[in-house]
Amino acid sequence: MKVLSRIFLVLVLAALIFLGLGHSDTVSRWILSDRAWSFLMPFFRLFGIYGSEGEENVIFSLLAVISLFIAVIVVSATYAWSGRNKGGQKITS
């Protein structure tokens, strides 16, 4: 049951992070820059994308993977931190 709850938390958090990244002005400006296209070009070549139609799918997928990675780190760190505090120590506020 713990594993399912962690997976659920990761998926919900990843969706929220993805929405946040997708609506971020900073990410939007970066995607429109030349540096972004230089960074993304190997991914386009890897997946055989040479037109504008497939570029959106690659960007969408990369944002989803980044969101999932961040969510896994946050949930893992939260459970590790809460596990340490269950050892008889009280959290003072």
Which amino acid would we find at residue 74? V
Instruction: Give the pLDDT of the chain (93 residues) as one tens digit per residue.
Output: 788 999 999 999 999 999 999 899 999 899 889 999 899 899 888 888 877 778 888 889 999 999 999 999 999 999 888 877 666 555 555
User: Is 39 a member of any domain?
Assistant: yes
User: Is 89 a member of any domain?
Assistant: no
User: Is 52 a member of any domain?
Assistant: yes
Closest CA to 22 of 74, 60, 69, 75: 60
Domain of residue 72, residue span: 8-78
User: Is 85 a member of any domain?
Assistant: no
Structure tokens at 80: 């590790």
User: Is 65 a member of any domain?
Assistant: yes
Are the C-beta atoms of 21 and 63 separated by less than 8 Å?
Answer: yes
In angstroms, the CA 86 to CA 51 distance is 54
User: Is 51 a member of any domain?
Assistant: yes
User: Is 69 a member of any domain?
Assistant: yes
Total domains present in the chain: 1
